[in-house]
Each structure stands twice: as structure tokens, then as C-alpha cells.
Amino acid sequence: MSNKLIIGMFGFGVVGQGLYDIIKTKKLNLEIKKFVIKNADKKRSLPAELFTTDAEAILGDTEINTVVELIDDAEAAFEITKRALKSGKNVVSANKKMIATHLEELAEIQQEYGTSLLYEGAVCGSIPIIRNLEEYYDNELLHSVSGIFNGSSNYILSKIFNENQSYDTALRKAQELGFAETDPTLDVGGYDPKYKLAIVASHAYGIYVDPETILNLGIDKLGEQDIRFAKEKGFKIKLLPLAKEIDPNQVVLYVLPKFIHSDNILFNVENENNGVLVKAAFADEQFFYGKGAGGHPTGSAVLSDITALRYGYRYEYKKHLDAGQIAYNTDYQLKVYFRYAEEETLSQLQFNSISERFYGENFKYVIGEINLNEIINKRAIIHQTGNFLAEIL
């Protein structure tokens, strides 16, 4: 028998509206009692008495047993989540930055207070990757988890490679559709998939990694020469995070644009869709595909967490119990394409080897082997205007 949930929701934006649209079509043992929003003057589709700007209307209400957190501010979301968990309320969140940054502390709070924080909607929209890593792969040895974790950047790249749109045109269209924000840096700069990668790594390998220590280079420096190079070689460019076991007790994590061939299963994951590729010792290779952006896809993941709470579900963090010897390592060799503007820039990078070099009047690049640590240490140089680096798979 399920427990009735009395819900207080923080935020009523795209995901909040999408979640509400789904809930009202179903007969569920739950009630949304109050919404806390930031802008009291904004016109809403629900009765005004349901909305307030006072967080105490939810956090101080003993009848509300479940908090759904769907706001943009990561630090405010953390304070809401922490207080709710400590007061005996379960929480469902879709805030990937908040969770990635504070996951270890939040896991400890859940253990101490016997509450549950679920966050399927924070990673890859409608794809149930967290639940699968927790349950299906709980005793599995995972070689790697990678894929397309960001629907906004994937939409932009799809328009560039499939419809020959310019980067600027594709970005504007993504913004018009609500896939990308007015300031798109979180998506096109690779920050969004980095936060998601930190969460995935926690459930895949049982490690807590500060997302600020994970390398992320995005597609915001992508140029026409890079697109032409990719098409001539039969590549597409995708923005791909990777969590990979490089030794029995070592895991590497990073987010980079990557050139991929048509034989890669991610080659045909297009538009706002996401794809997660799991390579395991016993289950072999498995692929998850679904919508990665939009109110209804993410809302469906949030609702899945809400309904799971009716039956007392919580993450057990099983792999953390056996992960005492697993460490995050950045000593890893990559094959990369590096397009640069000035010779001085190239001279400041320590490549282990260079297999191809092109020098033209308006287009210079090298292809070679380089250590991940070198990219991390020279990130500021690599990310200067006029430079673009991508891994070659």
C-alpha cells in the first residue's frame, strides 16, 4: 500500500509546469499543497492561492511530507534541500549543480535523519540512468559510462551537421525553443554535462568528486574550419562526458567535444535527445536513449521519483560501501585535434607526439597524443579565442 504524499514545490518553470501537466492526467495518491515561486507578479495557470514567495509556507508546514525542488539557484536549492531532509521531509530535485557539488554531505544527512533525496530528473532528462546504476548495475563492474548528457548542445550540433546551419543560427534556434538559456554557457561550455558526470560517477563507481576538479571544454569555440574538417573526414562532433576505469582502482572523468565516426552508436543521437552508453564486464555494452531536454521529459523523471517515494524508496549508495580504494585520476593519454591561431600557443603545450600537422593562412591544426593533466593545466591557453580542442575517437 502506498503512502499519501503531501507535496510542496519550489519553482514553477518549464519543468514544474511539465510535471504538473503530467500529474493532473493521472490518479495518484498525492496532493500538491503549495508552490513557492520567486516572481509573485507573474501570471500563473493555477489559482493564485496556491502560490507564495515565502519558503516557510512549505518548510514550516508539518503536513507537507515531500518537497519537490525545481529552482535554478544551486546554493538556494541546497539550503532548501538540507533543511527539508533534516526536518523529516523527503526531497525530489532536478538541480544537477546542487547535487553534484553537495552530494557527499546530502548522502550523510539522509543517513542520519532517515530521509530520502531522489534526483533522476537531474541527469539526462527522461532516461532512468541513476536508478539503473543503483539497481541493475549494483554488483556490476563497469568499464565506462559515457554519452550525450546535454540536449541543448546536441541540438546545436545536429543543426550544424545535418542542416548546414551556422553555430550562431543553431544556438539562436535552441534558445527560441527553450533548450538553451539566454546565457548558454552552462550548456555549450560543458558545465551542465560535467555536473551530471559527477553524479553518474558517484553511482557507477562509488566515488564523490568535486565537479570543479573535472575538466570541461565545450563547443563554444567551435569554428567553421573545425566543422569542415569533421565533414571531410566523415566525422560528427558530439559533446561527450566520460567516466572510465583506467586501472582496477582508478577512474578518469572529463567532458570534451569529440570527433566520432558513423560506427559509434552515439553518431545518430540527434537534436535534444540524449544517449547513455554503459560498458560493463558482465552485461557487456548497453545503450539508453531518450529525450534530454524539455518540461515533459524531465517532468516524467521527477514524477518517477515522486511515485517511488510513496513506497519508501531511497538510494542505498551500495557502491560507496566498497569503494574505499577507488580514486579519481587525471593521468590519462588522449588523442586530440587542436586548432590554434598563434604558433606561440602551440609551443606552450607539451604534446607527447604529433601525428599530423596542417599549416594554412587561416587554419592551423595538429593531431597528437597529449596527457589529460596537460590539458587541465593549460586550459586557459587552450580555451583562448581562436583555439578549439576535441578528442578523436
pLDDT, one tens digit per residue, over 135-150 is 999 888 899 999 999 9
pLDDT at residue 324 above 90? no
Q: Do the first three CATH levels of 5-130+296-321 and 139-290+325-392 match, i.e. the same topology? A: no
Question: Angle of helix 74-86 relative to helix 96-113, nearest 10 degrees?
Answer: 10
∠ CA 125-151-28 to the nearest 5 degrees? 20
CB atoms within 10 A of CB 44: 14
84 in helix, strand or coil?
helix
For the chain, the structural domain boundaries read 5-130+296-321, 139-290+325-392
pLDDT confidence band for 348 (50 / 70 / 90)? very high
Architecture label for domain 5-130+296-321 = 3-Layer(aba) Sandwich (3.40)
Band of residue 1 on the pLDDT scale cut at 50, 70, 90 = low
Class of the CATH-defined domain 139-290+325-392: alpha beta
196 is catalytic: yes
Marked catalytic residue, from 96, 97, 159, 196: 196
Percent of the chain beyond pLDDT 90?
A: 78
Set of cell numbers at residue 261: 565516426
Grid cell digits, residue 202: 558517484
Tens of pLDDT, residues 22-69: 888 777 888 899 999 988 888 888 888 899 999 999 999 999 999 999
Quickly state the pLDDT bin for 322 (edges 50, 70, 90): low
> The dihedral of CA 236, 239, 243, 246: what is its sign?
positive
Crossing angle, helix 295-309 and helix 14-23, to 10 degrees?
60
How much is the pTM? 0.95
Cell of 211: 565537479
Angle among Cα 60, 61, 65 to the nearest 5 degrees reads 115
| 3-class secondary structure, 69 | strand
Mean pLDDT of 222-238: 96
Average pLDDT of the segment spanning 168-173? 94
Helix 191-205, helix 96-113: angle, nearest 10: 30
Burial (CB count within 10 angstroms: exposed 0-12, middle 13-18, buried 19+), residue 64: buried
